[in-house]
Amino acid sequence: MDVHEAEKDILNIFSKYGAAWSKHKTPLPSTLTRGKLYELYVLGIVLQELHNRGCNITFKGRSLLFKAAPGKLKLSDPHFVVETPNGDTLWLFVDIEFNTLGQELSRATDRSRRHELDIVLVDEINDYPSYRDVWFGAECKAHSNFRKSIIKEVLGVRRELSGRDRKCQKYSRLTQSGTSPQVSVYASPPPSSG
């Protein structure tokens, strides 16, 4: 798939959910970096997958914007509201920092207490959501050459959401909320019942 095909797919997916684009001559600005284009493409796939799982999705905002840097979760920022088949209301944002499992265990107050997720689906609206509020998170990397540092970063984010535990198998929160296919995860702490 080339850039033009990706842009076409992105526009088709986002138009289904009422997402508008800022006032540029083209819907996707030419200044969009390769990384942000990939993030947008992954966001489109996530929205399509949530829709396929039976969720109703509504865009809130005037146009979809990507932040220059990750930060707080704010309802005034453009986002998607996701209603699950069982009636849970979730919010899908981009470029958000969350408070980590390590922060809860160590009570750290420095910058290490938070990690960024490029795409995050949460069930609570807090400035910085807790790892317990994250139903889904994605870290998007548009690299053809994966270096050790990227793998370590992704594994670090994974660890800050929960630890792998073969003895603790639970259905994912999306599965618990009535979506299918069912997905189970081995995690400690286990996904909360949300």
Q: What is the pLDDT of residues 16-73, one digit of tens each?
A: 665 544 443 345 556 667 777 888 888 988 999 899 999 999 999 877 776 767 888 8
Cα–Cα nearest to 38, from 122, 144, 134, 136: 144
Lowest mean pLDDT among 48-62, 77-91, 127-141: 127-141
Q: 10 with 47: CB under 8 angstroms?
A: no
Give per-residue pLDDT as tens, 101-116. 777 777 767 767 788 8
pLDDT per residue as tens digits for the range 144-153: 566 666 655 6
Which of 15-19, 66-70, 82-86, 124-128: highest mean pLDDT?
82-86
Q: Is the pLDDT of residue 94 over 80?
A: yes
Mean pLDDT of the residues in the chain: 75
Q: For the chain, which residues make up each domain, given as ranges?
A: 3-186
Instruction: Using alpha carbons, list the distances in angstroms from residue 64 to 14, 17, 54.
Output: 10, 11, 23
- Give the DSSP letter string of 35-101: HHHHHHHHHHHHHHHHHHTT-EEEEESSS----SS-B---TTS-EEEEE-TT--EEEEEEEEEEE-H
Place of tokens 């798939």: 1
Q: Are residues 69 and 96 in contact, defined by beta-carbon separation less than 8 angstroms?
A: no
Higher pLDDT, 13 or 144: 13
Is 42 or 162 the better-scoring residue by pLDDT?
42
For residues 79 and 91, the answer to whether their CB atoms sit within 8 Å is yes
Confidence of residue 89 (pLDDT cuts 50, 70, 90): very high
Q: What is the largest CA-CA distance in the chain?
A: 54
